Amino acid sequence: MDTTLQDPLVGQLLDGRYRIEARIAVGGMATVYRAVDTRLDRVLAVKVMHPALAVDVSFVERFIREAKSVARLAHPNVVAVFDQGAQGAYVYLAMEYVAGCTLRDVLRERGALKPRAALDILEPVLAALGAAHRAGFVHRDMKPENVLIGDDGRVKVADFGLVRAVGTATETTGSLLGTVSYLAPEQIEHGSADTRSDVYACGVLLYEMLTGAKPHTGENAAQVIYQHLNSDVPAPSAAVPGLPVALDSLVASATARTPEVRPHDAVLLLAEAREARAALTEAELDALPPRALSEAHDGADDRTSVIARALPAEGPGEDGGVHRTSRLQMPPAEPARRRGPRRRGPFAGPHRRLITVLTAVLLTLGVGAGVWYISSGQFTQVPSLLGQTQQAAEQRITDAGLGLKGVERVFSDTVERGEVVSSDPAPGDRIRGNGSVQLVVSRGPEIVRVPDVAGGSLADARRSLKEVGLAPGMVTREFSEDVARGEVIRTDPRAGTDRRPDTAVALVVSKGSPVDVPDVTGLSAREATAELAAEGLKAEVLPGRVHSPEDAGNVAEQSPGKGAEAAEGDTVELTVSQGPRMLDVPDVTGRDVGAARSALEEAGFAVKVERPFLSFSDTIARQSVQGGEQAPEGSTITIRTKGL
């Protein structure tokens, strides 16, 4: 059964505009769906943040802010962001839909690529990154999964900037292992990333495209991280002999462990890539890499064959059924030359090798030819049962000479009530002629009612939602005169609403009564802290001081500022002044008033003009601070015109 059909969003109209048609992919941060924009009648991709991440308000705000920034990055090789919004517990992005596959799919299927193909993919990736780098963006998570290759051949980079909203992964899952394979040493060691970190990841991408394998591998993330920090990325030609030196140099330049040695950004790496391409001959560009060097993939050149099995394997397959094929490693090819004479007989040459292979197949399957022949008549196949009514399914089981082991009933959003969801063994599986089949029959869709959690704590509300089968969603906070701080005000959807299981429910939590933030600029840090405490607020003096008109040691800036509303117990950040900067005062005597005013204002001062009684001159005779002396930034310089 297709579990994607059980997704609560599939078939829904999100935000009154986007009709969710199918689930495309699930990642650590969000789920991506194919959808239709009902206003513009176009297909697009909608990325919906996981409820577990939507709980963090600061995360959501940063996600939205950076999504808006990326939406301004218009480039033909960047997946465009069209819209952003939220509906209840669902925070989403509407993006360009790219029909095709990812670079990971290509590498998994083909292994190493020809140099021309690798450069044809790398160059548009670098063009996209270069445009982003020059616009002030850093991708931070370049990997084959984020390189999309459309059916029309266009190459696009996905998830620009959004990865900065994601926290550090803490579990050594396969996805983490895949991600750390492309992290630059400075990202691992210091947690910092800039344009050169993206350059490093692109160097690893190029290595993988040229060789079909990652440069650093291991059984866990820690081993890969250690290699990033302590070992250079090897030359691709070490894995694939015959690759041109120009490609080795390009990979070495991009993956230098010291950031300062790498090209500063993708624009410069793109220039190096084009120089490397120009240095290669047509034959070198189209050289076919040895497939044996590639990672595991299916292809005609592999030295493995897929052999049909006579009996089911012992373990379940990825689809929940039983594997019906077994992979058999073929024997190595015979040498082209032999020192002695070749012996021939009835089983020599190809016939002998064929018998050897067939014997190996039977031994691999764990059965002999005689055992297969004797046992074949004792088995039958489970008839087709899925989608049948329970009565019809039971009749089919009986007609096949099988018994009914039992009937289990489960909720299902996709299978009509009373119809068969699945069976054990599955339809088509081999089963002994006197065996029994277990049926799983649909009870129809399950409906969950949103509980009333208003007035309780956030922890209690989350617990209550989980108990009834709902998912605690995004948490927002707002002021309330009636509900105590920390208690739930309401849910979205509201209490009493019927929803499907696992639907995310947003929670609105009280911040208590609002407190007006007082103005504490100009006060000493101690005085400011005391005044804030009197209002029920906390003070945090930030490290470092700034130049300001305030006296040294007094508060220069505060956040939030005067007049803002805060909740009792909230923290106000204070920045302390180190006094105004002292600036050189220009000499403006002898100039006219306009020129003098401009010169002083450009130097960072305010200007006051004085004219003697009955003076009609515009020429400056004196200034309150002489030219060449210093005065505090922002202070007022008085200039006086000539008298009669």
Three-state DSSP class for 360?
helix
Task: Kindly state the tokens that stand for 162.
Answer: 């959004």
Alpha-carbon distance values, 75 to 70, 81, 433 (Å): 11, 11, 63
C-alpha Rg value of the chain to the nearest Å: 35
Q: Which residues contact 300 (CB under 8 A, 6 or more apart)?
A: none
> Is residue 108 a contact partner of residue 291, using CB atoms and an 8 Å limit?
no
Q: Catalytic amino acids?
A: 141
Three-state DSSP class for 75?
coil
**The tokens 């998830």 sit on which residue?**
159
Task: Kindly state the tokens that stand for 538.
Answer: 């906390």
Polymer length of the chain: 644
d(CA 66, CA 178): 24
Long-range contacts of 281-287 (CB under 8 A, 24+ apart): 284/115, 284/244, 285/114, 285/115, 285/116, 285/119, 286/114, 286/115, 286/116, 287/114, 287/115, 287/242, 287/243
| Cis peptide upstream of residue 493 (ω within 30 degrees of 0) | yes
Alpha-helical regions (H) of 100-194: 103-110, 115-134, 174-180, 185-190
Bridge-partner residues for 573, per DSSP? 540, 559
> Is residue 441 a contact partner of residue 407, using CB atoms and an 8 Å limit?
yes
Alpha-carbon distance values, 88 to 120, 325, 505, 507 (Å): 43, 47, 7, 9
**At residue 637, what is the residue type?**
I
d(CA 34, CA 18): 10
**At residue 551, what is the residue type?**
D
**At residue 148, what is the residue type?**
L
User: Which residues in 296-414 belong to E strands, given as ranges?
Assistant: 304-308, 325-329, 379-381, 403-410
525-549 as b/e: b if 16+ CB within 10 A: beebbebbeeeebebeeeeeeebbe
